[in-house]
Structure 1
Amino acid sequence: MRERPRPIYKIKLGTPEDLAIMEALRRETDAVFRVDANAGWTVGEALQLIPVLAQLGVEFVEQPLARDDWDGMRVLYKESVLPLIADESCVKEEDVEACAGFFHGINIKLTKCGGITPARRMIGKARSLGMKVMVGSMNESTIGSAAIAHLLPELDYVDMDGPLLLRDDLGTGLAIGADRVTIPNGAGLGVEFTGLFSREAAAGMTN
């Protein structure tokens, strides 16, 4: 945080030291915090932690409970002072409606749901149910992240830092700055393959 200040941080939790971690990080920055519990809490733990996280400036909590703990999510949905975003509980299109009344929003991953077209249908369904929409990522290269970037006008939240986590990227053209993303102007996604995954290599893979 000191070396590369950002306006928003997504923090992975689900450990016995969650509160200590959050308090230590908050001492370092006034930035917005978003928390991903990675299905690591029980209902009781979530009910205790979430009000404190709200006081620490957390914007929302992603996947607080196990993906199939619907009874727990029903309780948490009614009690939580922070929005709850489904991740592992919402993978494919039919999961969106199932999450209504248990989560305040959904996190879509293009690599899990099948790409841009099903993702857009998931966005439309979530909106019709009054739910917030986020698109997330794992270790997508510039190519996958450019696909996410083209959905930005339809999103409430986004997590697309995959290229920043890679030593060797597969493409160029998308620019991720400290507080904004610049989309290239070329055809399609606008990206160009690097030497790591050149057009020649791609052609060889299809032959």
Structure 2
Amino acid sequence: MKLELKKYVLELKHTFTISRESHDTQDTLIACLSLEGHTGYGESTSNPYYRITFESMQAEIEGIRKEIESFDFKDPEGFYEFLKSHNLSNFSICALDLAAHDLYGKLKAKPLYELWGTDNSQYPVTNFTIGLDSVDKMIEKMEEQPWPIYKIKLGTDNDLEIVKKLRAHTDANFRVDANCAWAALQAIQNCKELKELGVEFIEQPLHAEDWSGMAKLKKEAVLPLIADESCIVEEDVERCAGYFDGINIKLTKCGGLTPALRMIKKAKELDLKVMVGCMTESTVGISAIAQLLPQLDYVDMDGALLLKNDIAEGVEIQENAKVIFPEENGSGVKLMK
């Protein structure tokens, strides 16, 4: 099996701001695994919050290049266990795991959702994310990208006022992501007012480790609560069940499709809603997420829509939010450059 690593700097259409950071570009690592005339592609983006850079991922993967290229590849699950045994970060494992799944589907001549026994004729609509900015700029972004569901990034001193002003400009469904910025009592009050403003749910209102605050909030919140930073890996799903109504799985954070599939299964057993989110990936990462669509309640896979220029072809999200699955097998990815 041949391994190739590529670095891309993805340029965003607009500065993307959340409660703790802003950026205009996104470094991303594309892993390419080739076998028997087929190539699978996987992606992981850099992330300052988790101290992940392209260089740190590259160094980890290059450190076991010989082992990867000599690995007797049979299926993605066996390859994932092999990667875990080498103590790579989940971000590095994700890029390789996604590539392995894409490769496997291409070798089997089937898209992944079909290999998993799911039907892609029904799927949740992705939201479109509006990052923090001046209210005028946030409204401008909505007007530029009319969409049925917006995820609004919050975490300021005037969050409610922002949502009120945005609501005046659209009847679209709203979801709110506070990115750990609120305190429990603040979140309880915000939920009441945000419900009146047509907000569907709140994502990660409190700090990831504020479990006592979450216990209080869960008792009094009038809106569903979705875990993000509090639910990173498989082991977190069961703990979140007592504090949240659902989880947002990020492939980069959990280590790829292999653990994500197990997290989805566990969440459903615990009667949790399941969402999969993105980390401003290109179409490489978004196409992998799309394979999970039939299994999800919610999805946030707008990463490629936020880019000035994409680097790949694969799953396409049209202006009406309809998803077009490619004829290519696996995740359906082809690099354009």
Question: Which TM-score applies when normalising by structure 1?
Answer: 0.92
Rounded Cα–Cα distance in structure 1 between residues aligned with 2:155 and 2:189: 13
- Root-mean-square deviation (CA, aligned residues, Å) is 0.9
Structure 1 residues 51-76: Cα deviation after superposition (integer angstroms, max 9, x where no partner):
11001000000000000000010011
Cα drift, residue 185 of structure 1: 1.9
Moved more, 181-190 or 37-46: 181-190
Could you tell me which residue of structure 1 aligns to residue 155 of structure 2? 14
Could you tell me which residue of structure 2 aligns to residue 193 of structure 1? 335
Letter in 1 for 2:328: G
Structure 2 counterparts to residues 75-86 of structure 1, below 5 A = 75-86=216-227
Aligned residues of 2:185 and 2:217 also touching (Cα < 8 A): no
Letter in 2 for 1:144: G
Which consecutive residues of structure 2, in runs of 5 or more, have no partner in the other structure?
A: 1-141
Rounded Cα–Cα distance in structure 2 between residues aligned with 1:95 and 1:133: 14
Letter in 2 for 1:98: R
1:163 aligned onto 2:304: yes
Structure with the larger strand share: 2
Question: Which TM-score applies when normalising by structure 2?
Answer: 0.57
Could you tell me which residue of structure 1 aligns to residue 194 of structure 2? 53
Cα drift, residue 137 of structure 1: 0.5
Rounded Cα–Cα distance in structure 1 between residues aligned with 2:278 and 2:143: 24
Could you tell me which residue of structure 2 aligns to residue 37 of structure 1? 178
Q: How many pairs align? A: 195
Cα drift, residue 182 of structure 1: 1.2
1:94 aligned onto 2:215: no
Letter in 1 for 2:200: E
Structure showing greater relative contact order (alpha-carbon pairs closer than 8 Å, 6 or more residues apart): 2
Structure 2 counterparts to residues 119-198 of structure 1, below 5 A = 119-178=260-319, 179-195=321-337
Which consecutive residues of structure 1, in runs of 5 or more, have no partner in the other structure?
A: 196-207
Rounded Cα–Cα distance in structure 2 between residues aligned with 1:136 and 1:44: 27
